[in-house]
Structure 1
């Protein structure tokens, strides 16, 4: 695959000319959650609405450079607090132990680490930073942790558990929490792989829960907005609210087409989406997921307040039609990346066989726009970008940032352990790649469809199977 490379001068023109246009086209983002960290860096998907968009700009014009911090761990979650310090939640290659790392903002090197109790495969993935820059996660023992960092008397940094609250009464034995997010009342919403959704208030010690219909699993994270909490199970999309005592209630439920089975390049049989709030009015007018229909998946958009389905648009038609990634959504626009055929080295124990049993990694990226009058949606473009990470839209520079996995043999759909990886920037108006930077080849650079984060100072932090990449320009 060939990519158009912009000259430094052309890129400078693009970067300097587009922020105001981008802000107008892709605004507003979901409202700031007062109990979460900075917008764009507080959650894996940027904010508690899971927009996968950020107001922060990526690397500017000039030669790009990259540095890899080797942590012998897969690092799917890299967040940045209000103090500027990145915090990564990683899982060690040997032992599969979830481990929190505090990273140096200037170099990306690990300043401190803290292992936490091991749980399910997805238990070491989803977390967020609260308004005090503490990492909020649930460990393998079912305990809600707030992990803070500080300097010791010797001048070194340390990570420590600032508070903890057991969820054992709400999380059944053998089950594990997969997603957490704060609501606008300061409670922590959580969801388990087995289909339990609950709230935990560690100020009072109150934990309340609701079990969703039998057979429905939750394999992705959850999203929160002033309207409520969005959850996508392997069968349906939900909006939930909580009573005064914190007990969850179903506001609406919409089933979707889950297809004949798990597609290759997905981790469960059902949607691969963390549900995403977006919209041109409040930033949470709509809610969107991608279904698992065969042979072609569709982007589904609902009115967030009522659950009314606004549209169903077939996407990823040019490449592989299946997605394990949360959509990007901002303003009236939604972007969907394909993971169809992506070779994950490890699957959840209950993933089941895929249908078909194998497939090449075709790539794919689609843009869908909701019409200004809210009467429906339209596919704007459909391309074959082989994104190997969860893309991130910057309204600060008007670009989509991701990592691209090229085949060893150009023009093929195969993957190998020596595939090259490139940081890539994509024009959201056309879907075309406008700049790339070679990162490396092989397993140690595999970004494994993990989300990158744009940090203050125009720095991209991207987790890999073995650590964290830090991508910058002068």
Structure 2
């Protein structure tokens, strides 16, 4: 998902409401350029310093494509189980060894905690508490090439958390490596997103706009500060061409010369006149998405925050020039998305979050205009034309996804959880809403299969991202734990 990590350490939060908010990150259109699932094209190239594609980051890979090479729950009766952790769990990742690792924050105490999960049933095998800091210790993390969770904690330290068996065969989690980032990050700031580059450095961005690199083998930490007033409210993405960062005003592509970040290009977007309901910051809710038909990285996509529409913006990675700006989520009449777009080949999928009932928003996000709205949802597919001359809306519907969809290139389906209204046919939300796991045909946008996973706020997926595990189980964080959806 695209979660907002904007508030500083000095922010005071309403305990439960703030915790839940922190873990939020049809009409037929032209089908002339539609691409079939079998011909979607490549995903971003594998990053040698990250874990397996599809499970290494919240958005699947370091290019934030929100795709996976793994097939989700297959034929058979769909069923779900819940690992109750009394915690919001926005980050559920899986390393090459097949063991899921989750980054969660308990409702009580709010000390961020890493869980190692049993791949067979989702139960917690071991836990490790991290230092509490801004926004409860952070949300975005990734699995590295040695199956370690890489995360920045509340002490402004970059950690690599490994899992190991002791002499008795019991699992334990340990901080295997630590590097302080305090030399470049002010005490009232915190890391928002991080990802490795192709040289093994860890790129990071903070809420107040510090972008830097860290090499925890040499101890080198270097950074630059983006223009005053620009905040980073979502995560960052890396590709061989550079690191993409979207602030509350613009999208950047940066590279590093000797480890020092350098801006290659900057593209401002329409951030609108105010924050919208269902968004957690005044600006784009997107973690930038790399995609492309040849290398998987020719383009960078985000969704803007224009007042009267939500527009998919696609830029050329090479120079930041415009490919297209296409209004999306029109069928749902919900002009806003807090989620990162799904991108593969020439196709982009955008899920709307306009009006999603986050219990609270970060301090400094500003009042929403209007003050509230029904959860509109919406899901749109846009394809870049084969010659790169623009884009076409392929389909647009009013499906209410309550999570960041994932596209499986193995089974050719979009996977997500939807939030249905308590009273069918209405548009409101309630604490008793039912939630369904669904599989969606990317050619039509229609649900092909679904199963109810639960009713009520315990099952609220709060626009968090799901992960397909190697055994086909779909792991989905909720505000109280983790769902495990399988086919029998």
Scaled by the length of structure 1, the TM-score of the pair is 0.94
Query: 1:77 and 2:58 equivalent?
Result: no
Q: How far apart are residue 122 of structure 1 and its match?
A: 7.3
Confirm or deny: 8 A CA contact 1:361 1:413 kept in the other structure. Answer: yes
Counterpart-to-counterpart distance in 2, 1:120 and 1:437: 37
* Corresponding residue to 1:344 among 358, 363, 371: 358
Q: Give the direction of change, closer, same or farther, for the CA distance of 1:371–1:414 in structure 2 (3 Å limit).
A: same
Corresponding position of 1:197: 211
**Which sections of structure 1, spanning at least 5 residues, go unmatched?**
1-19
Structure 2 residue aligned with 1:222: 236
| 1:278 alignment counterpart | 291
3-state DSSP class of the match of 1:444? helix
Contact residue 302 and residue 308 of structure 1 kept, 8 A: yes
CA distance in 1, matches of 2:261, 2:221: 10
Q: 2:175 — aligned with what?
A: 161
1:42-81 equivalence runs, <5 A: 42-81=56-95
Residues 360-379 of structure 1: CA distance to partner in whole angstroms, max 9, x if unpaired? 00110000000001110010
Secondary structure in 2 matching 1:181: strand
Q: Is the 8 A contact 2:379 2:398 kept in 1?
A: yes
Aligned to 1:256: 269
Query: Who is 1:16 aligned against?
Result: none
1:314 is aligned, of 319, 324, 327, to: 327
Q: Which of 372, 379, 384 is the matching residue for 2:386? A: 372
Aligned with 2:294: secondary structure?
A: coil
Q: Where does 1:26-425 land on structure 2 (aligned, <5 Å)?
A: 26-121=40-135, 123-244=137-258, 246-319=259-332, 320-425=334-439
**Which residue number corresponds to residue 12 of structure 1?**
none
CA positional deviation for 1:154: 2.2
The residue that corresponds to 2:477 in the other structure is 463
Q: Secondary structure at the match of 2:458?
A: helix
| Stretches of structure 2 lacking an aligned partner (at least 5 in a row) | 1-34
Q: 1:84-128 CA deviation, whole Å, 9 max, x = no partner?
A: 000000111112221100000000000001110112227431000
**Matched residue of 1:322: which SS?**
coil
Following the alignment from structure 1 to structure 2, what is the Cα–Cα distance between the partners of residues 362 and 65? Answer: 27
| Displacement after TM superposition at 1:347 (Å) | 1.9
**Is contact 2:110-2:136 (8 Å) kept?**
no
Number of aligned pairs? 453
- Residue 349 of structure 1 deviates from its aligned partner by 2.0
- 3-state SS of 1:396 partner: coil
**Partners of 2:182 and 2:41 in 1: CA distance:** 40
- RMSD, aligned CA: 1.0
TM-score by length of 2: 0.92
Deviation at 1:392, TM superposition (A): 0.2
In 2: Cα distance, 1:87 partner to 1:410 partner: 36
